Amino acid sequence: MSAAGPKLPIVDSPKYNISVFGLEKLHSFDSKKYGRIFSHLTTVSKLFTHSQTHTPPTPTRNDLLKIHTPAYMDSLNDRMVLTRILEVPVVAMLPMFVSRSRILEPMLAGTGGTILAAELAMKHGWAMNLGGGYHHASGNQGSGFCVYADWALAITNVFEKFPAVKRVLYVDLDAHQGNGVARSFMEDDRVHILDAYNPHIFPADTYAKTAITYAMSLSTATLKTPTPYLSLLRTTLSHAIESSKPDLICYNAGTDCLEGDRLGAMMLTDEAVVERDEIVWRMALEKGVPVVMALSGGYQMNNAGVIARSIENLVQKLGLFDRMRHDSGIGESADSGFNG
Ligand SMILES: [Zn+2]
C-alpha cells in the first residue's frame, strides 16, 4: 500500500513509548514495544504507512474529569502516589517534570488513542489503538502501571456521541483482571463485561469481580494449555454477544498471557494469541458489531513481534481493510474530536 493509500482506523503516536533514561529496564519490560509494533507493520510487512494512520489528540483535564475525580487528578502531582501506581520505586527519585514528560504524557497519548479508536470503530466498523488498555485504572484510583482509565473514558465518550449505542460489551483477555474498567461501570448496566484472567495473580479484586457479566473462569488446564482456553473463549464470547447484543465490542488484547511472562503466569503460545485475536475479531465482524482493540499488558521482548503478526493475520485472513465502512457513523450526535 502506498503513501497515498486510504486513511485507516488505526491509531498510533510516536509518543506512546516510555523511556526514562534507562530506568524503564528496572520494571523488566520492553517499553519500546509500541514503536516496534508500528515499525514492523509499516516497514517489514508494509501493511500501511504512517500517513494512513491517526494520531490522537491529547485529552484535556476536562476530558479526563468525565471519569476521574479532581482529587485523583491532583494526586498525580505527588511522587509517592505515582510510584505506587507505576510500581517502579525509582520514580520516587525522579523530578516530577521528568515523570510527567516521560511517563504520564505517553500514557495520556495512549488514553487519547483509545478514545479516538472507539469513535473510529463506530464510524468504520472496526479500529485499533496500537497502545492503551490501562484496565486497572478507575475514576479515583490508579494501580498496576495504569494511570488513566482509557477504556472508561472511551466508552463514556461513545455513549455521549453516539446515542444509538445502548450497550457495550467489554472483552478483557489480558492475563490480569480488568478491575478498573469493572469498577468504573459497577452501576451501569449498559456495559457488559467478559473477563478472562489468571485468578492467582494481581489484582484479585473481589469487589470488581461482581461486575463481570460473563465469567470465563480459567482453571489450571485453561491457564496452561491453549486448546481448552481457545475453545472456552469461543463458547463464552459467542454466548456473550448473543445475549448482550452489543452495539460496540471493546477488546482489551493484553499479551501477558504469552508463555514466559512472569507476571501473567499463563502459557499461551504465539500461535494461540494470534488465534485468540482472530476469534474475537471474526465473531464481531461476522455479527456486524463494531470492534475496537487496545493492546494493554505484555512487555516481554517478543510481544511486539507476536502483536504485529496477529494484526497481519487479521488484515489478511479477515480482509480487514476491505471491511472498512465509509459511512459517517450510526446515530452520531456530534463532530469527532473529543477535546473540544
Ligand atoms: Zn496484564
DSSP symbols for 86-100: HT-GGGGGS-HHHHI
Does the pLDDT value for residue 149 go beyond 90?
yes
225 CA to centre of ligand 1 in angstroms: 18
Contact 264, 258 (CB under 8 A): yes
Range scoring the smallest mean pLDDT among 157-161, 300-304, 330-334:
330-334
Range scoring the smallest mean pLDDT among 7-21, 58-72, 163-177, 246-260:
7-21
pLDDT band at 169 (very low <50, low <70, confident <90, very high): very high
24 CA to centre of ligand 1 in angstroms: 17
328 part of a folded domain: no
295 CA to centre of ligand 1 in angstroms: 10
Please count the structural domains in the chain.
1
Mean pLDDT of 30-46: 91
128 part of a folded domain: yes
Does the pLDDT value for residue 162 go beyond 90?
yes
Element (H, E) at 222: helix 220-224
Nearest residue to 8 via CA among 321, 312, 335, 284: 321
Q: pLDDT averaged over the chain?
A: 91
Question: How far, in Å, CA of 276 to CA of 293, rounded?
Answer: 13
pLDDT digits (tens, 9 = 90+) for 46-98: 999 999 999 999 999 999 999 999 999 999 999 999 989 988 777 888 888 88
Q: Is 125 exposed, middle or buried (0-12, 13-18, 19+ CB in 10 A)?
A: buried
The domain that holds 49 is classified in CATH as 3.40.800.20
Domain range enclosing 301: 10-323
333 part of a folded domain: no
Would residue 136 show up in a list of annotated catalytic residues for this protein? yes
Does the pLDDT value for residue 340 go beyond 70?
no
252 CA to centre of ligand 1 in angstroms: 10
115 part of a folded domain: yes
pLDDT band at 257 (very low <50, low <70, confident <90, very high): very high
Question: How far, in Å, CA of 66 to CA of 117, rounded?
Answer: 18
From the list 136, 200, 239, 326, the catalytic residue is: 136
The protein residues having their C-beta less than 5 angstroms from ligand 1 (an ion) are 174-176, 254, 256, 297
Question: How far, in Å, CA of 203 to CA of 87, rounded?
Answer: 13
301 part of a folded domain: yes
pLDDT band at 106 (very low <50, low <70, confident <90, very high): very high
With vertex at residue 255, the alpha carbon angle to CA 251 and CA 256, rounded to the nearest 5 degrees, is 125
291 part of a folded domain: yes
330 part of a folded domain: no
46 part of a folded domain: yes
Range scoring the smallest mean pLDDT among 24-38, 128-142, 247-261, 321-335:
321-335
